[in-house]
């Protein structure tokens, strides 16, 4: 695989990635699961959550790991997960709430799953136990599917909604947080959304930029790519592809930026399996190729951000 670096300039704003290639993130832990996606890191950096999924993606639970000293501990199923299809966690800015997506029923006495809704659990302290999950309700959740919560520091709530009534694919919405309540969500403009698939949006804490996924967008590298749009005086700028430093011919999705460490984390199904050989492989060589990190399964990657965008 060839590696590139890119600088995206829009007026005086830019997001610069280091010249180093993307790197696997916590590979020893990630490789314990058939597929891993959508990482969330707590504000103090001592806790990680991600979705661990089956090979076919039909079983999904939220996994949590905590730091013990300078090392990551043993992965565990989060206390609020493990029974229903759960994914896409996101910490509140104080680390006392965890938002996530689930098909769990509204009625705790039922085991019949419903459509995808956004839920949250809360705790009294960073070392406390999580509560039972709470459905966010209206106006965030509807009879349609809601996905991938991401919250700005001012409380504005960004997410993906699938509304078949609009005869579109997935779109990205925002619900503004006013007087301690959420407004009716509004679809982001056409500089971001289209009649195709837009999804997995990460909003910058100060709302200065949005990184999100597009599927099979014209001019992309193939499958799903990550794009960036900047908030300007005239609204959201036309989205730019983040380029070959990040995007591949395979599915690249689920962005998360840790502004404390200036690191972009994302999920990729990039496949660098070698298939041409001059001599037959031994069983050990074959298994090594099968089990390499970048073998087409959903894996977590990271890349250093040299400077975050400014307005």
Q: What is the pLDDT of residues 22-32, one digit of tens each?
A: 999 999 999 99
- Please write down the HEC assignment for all residues of the chain: CCCCCCEEEECCEEEEECCCCCEECCHHHHCCCCEEEEEEECCCCCEEEEEEECCCCCCEEEEEEEEECCEECCCEECCCCCCCCEEEEEECCCCCEEEEEECCCCCCCCCCCCCCEEEEEECCCCCCCCCCCEECCCCCCCCCEEEEEEECCCCCEEEEEECHHHCCCCEEEEECEECCEECCCEECCCCCCCCCCEEEEEECCCCCEEEEEEECCCCCCCCEEEEEEEEECCEECCCEECCCCCCCCCCEEEEEEECCCCEEEEEECCECCCCCCCCCCCHHHHHHHHCCCCECCCEEEEEEEEECCCC
**Lowest mean pLDDT: which of 92-101, 128-137, 146-155, 160-169?**
160-169
> What is the percent of the chain with per-residue pLDDT over 70, rounded to a whole number?
92
Q: What is the pLDDT of residue 171?
A: 96
Q: What is the pLDDT of residue 19?
A: 54
Q: How confident is the model at residue 182 (pLDDT cuts 50, 70, 90)?
A: very high
Classify domain 7-307 by CATH number: 2.120.10
Average pLDDT estimate for 213-234: 93
């Amino acid at each position: 695989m060839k590696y590139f670096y890119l600088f995206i300039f829009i007026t005086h704003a830019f997001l610069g990635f280091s010249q180093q290639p993307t790197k696997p993130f916590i590979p020893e832990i990630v490789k314990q699961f058939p597929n891993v996606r959508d990482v969330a890191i707590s504000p103090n950096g001592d806790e990680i959550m991600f979705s661990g999924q089956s090979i076919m993606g039909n079983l999904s639970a939220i996994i949590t790991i905590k730091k013990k000293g300078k090392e990551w501990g043993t992965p565990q199923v989060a206390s609020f997960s493990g029974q229903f299809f759960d994914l896409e966690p996101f910490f509140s800015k104080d680390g006392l709430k965890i938002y996530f997506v689930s098909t769990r029923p509204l009625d705790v006495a039922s085991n019949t799953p419903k459509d995808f809704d956004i839920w949250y659990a809360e705790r009294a302290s960073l070392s406390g136990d999580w509560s039972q999950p709470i459905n966010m309700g209206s106006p965030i959740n509807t009879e349609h599917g809601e996905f991938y919560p991401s919250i700005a520091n001012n409380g504005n709530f960004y997410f993906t909604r699938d509304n078949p009534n609009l005869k579109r694919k997935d779109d990205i919405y925002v619900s503004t947080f006013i007087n301690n309540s959420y407004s009716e969500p509004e679809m982001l403009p056409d500089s971001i959304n289209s009649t195709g698939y837009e999804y997995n949006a990460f909003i910058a804490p100060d709302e200065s930029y949005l990184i999100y996924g597009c599927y099979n967008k014209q001019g992309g590298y193939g499958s799903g790519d990550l794009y960036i749009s900047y908030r300007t005086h005239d609204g959201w700028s036309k989205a730019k592809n983040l380029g070959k430093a990040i995007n591949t011919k395979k599915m690249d999705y689920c962005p998360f930026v840790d502004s404390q460490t200036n690191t972009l984390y994302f999920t990729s199904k990039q496949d660098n399996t070698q298939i041409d050989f001059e001599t037959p492989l031994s069983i050990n060589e074959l298994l090594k190729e099968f089990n390499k990190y970048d073998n087409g399964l959903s894996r977590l990657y990271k890349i250093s951000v040299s400077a975050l965008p400014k307005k």
